[in-house]
Chains A and B, each alone.
Chain A
Amino acid sequence: EAGVTQSPTHLIKTRGQQATLRCSPISGHTSVYWYQQALGLGLQFLLWYDEGEERNRGNFPPRFSGRQFPNYSSELNVNALELEDSALYLCASSFGGSRTDTQYFGPGTRLTVL
């Protein structure tokens, strides 16, 4: 069974640009989560999507947004990139509803903002 996949592996942008990161969950999982792992800041929760809707949002500015498609894949958009957005962005998936316990992570997208 395929795991969580993310694309691209690496992304280099300049300040002010927009970045789009993609995630495909494990088959059968309806929840997708996004986390940011920036140097020195640890793993921070960004967004949670379930059944196509945003269910929860971490303490990040509105320029971090995303969506979940009917096939449960997800996209994270970061607008007006700033240098401090440079980080590893991790996507995770899980079953939805009360079965949610373990989240399974993808390999991540390394975003570098120059």
Chain B
Amino acid sequence: SQQGEEDPQALSIQEGENATMNCSYKTSINNLQWYRQNSGRGLVHLILIRSNEREKHSGRLRVTLDTSKKSSSLLITASRAADTASYFCATGGLYNQGGKLIFGQGTELSVKP
């Protein structure tokens, strides 16, 4: 079963606008990662935030983590048409936890030019 849920399931915005996606998870975590998937191809790693971090930035990406609420958000600022993709959060992956990543259902982002 999936670890959590992403919200919204789909998001449509205009170029230049900001996009915010949320992820909730069920169990305690050591870190949480965000991935992007273009058109049903491979996943691209975007950012990893550790459980003792509250916020992390990478270029136009900003991730927050609230372990008390078991939730994370991904903000893409000044979006571009090339940001159109599905975005997934994932937890797990640690060697001593069976190695597997557990993914949310994903948010499908459409950025219109």
B44 / chain A contacts, CB cutoff of 8 Å: 105
Asked if B99 contacts A33 (CB within 8 A), the reply is: yes
B33 / chain A contacts, CB cutoff of 8 Å: 102
Asked if B94 contacts A100 (CB within 8 A), the reply is: yes
Asked if B93 contacts A108 (CB within 8 A), the reply is: no
A12-20, A48-56, A70-78 - the one binding chain B: A48-56
Asked if A100 contacts B40 (CB within 8 A), the reply is: no
A45 at the interface (CB under 8 A from B): yes
A62 at the interface (CB under 8 A from B): no
Which bracket fits the contact residues of B?
20 to 34
Distance to closest chain A CB from B75 (angstroms) = 20
Distance to closest chain B CB from A46 (angstroms) = 9
A58 at the interface (CB under 8 A from B): yes
A1 at the interface (CB under 8 A from B): no
Distance to closest chain A CB from B109 (angstroms) = 17
Query: Which B positions have Cβ atoms within 8 angstroms of A?
Result: 2, 31, 33, 35, 40-45, 48, 88, 93-96, 98-106
